[in-house]
Chain A
């Protein structure tokens, strides 16, 4: 199993600012992912964080808006840039040891943009 520490747990931000969310895993993991969960909806994959290279973004998400870092096998950050109220959501990081293994999730970051 993997224990993921995600912070901040919540934040209220002003329009036009940026917020960086951090995820620290207690062990080295191959795959790390970032998800968004909009109010009342299910999870949508933003990107796969690749160690030592650029993240792989899903359709509808771009690096300029959601820059991601993954400097090593235990840590990743997601930045929500130039925020607007539409970015108000829960952001979750997750890890998976390998395909077909269970996903472990951080506790999430509740973001509200005014």
Chain B
């Protein structure tokens, strides 16, 4: 079982609407949690990095939240645009050895 589970696997939203992606993890001990955006045919690009003490972090229309007690994170996309169509990957870093565990990603398709 993957230590980082993302849901949903995919979703379709209309342009201008909001959506929220979920990430649950069991990685321990936890160092930080990252969200990446991966456009088709491109490498992932960092959106946010949150450490244990951070509850929320924003990057433009992207807002990530973290609940380290329940080991859950979410990525909220506000007022979606066609360019938001991509895979969003949750990555959790383990304290020891900086080991990164990647979630399976959520594929988002924004339709006009």
Contacts and interface: CB of A to CB of B under 8 A. Distances in A.
Contact of A102 (B31, B41, B49, B104): B49
Interface string B35-77: 0100001111110010100000000000000000000000000
A106 B43 contact: yes
Residue picked from A6, A100, A101, A110, most chain B C-beta under 10 Å: A100
Interface residues of A, number: 20
A92 B100 contact: no
Contacts, number: 47
B41 A41 contact: no
Secondary structure of the B side of the interface? strand
Nearest to A102: B46
Given A106-B43, A108-B43, A100 B104 contact: no
B43 A42 contact: no
B43 A100 contact: no
Contacts of B36: 103
Given A100-B93, A103-B100, 8 more contacts: A6-B43, A42-B89, A42-B103, A99-B31, A102-B46, A102-B49, A103-B36, A103-B44
Interface of A: 4, 6, 41-45, 92, 94, 99-108, 110
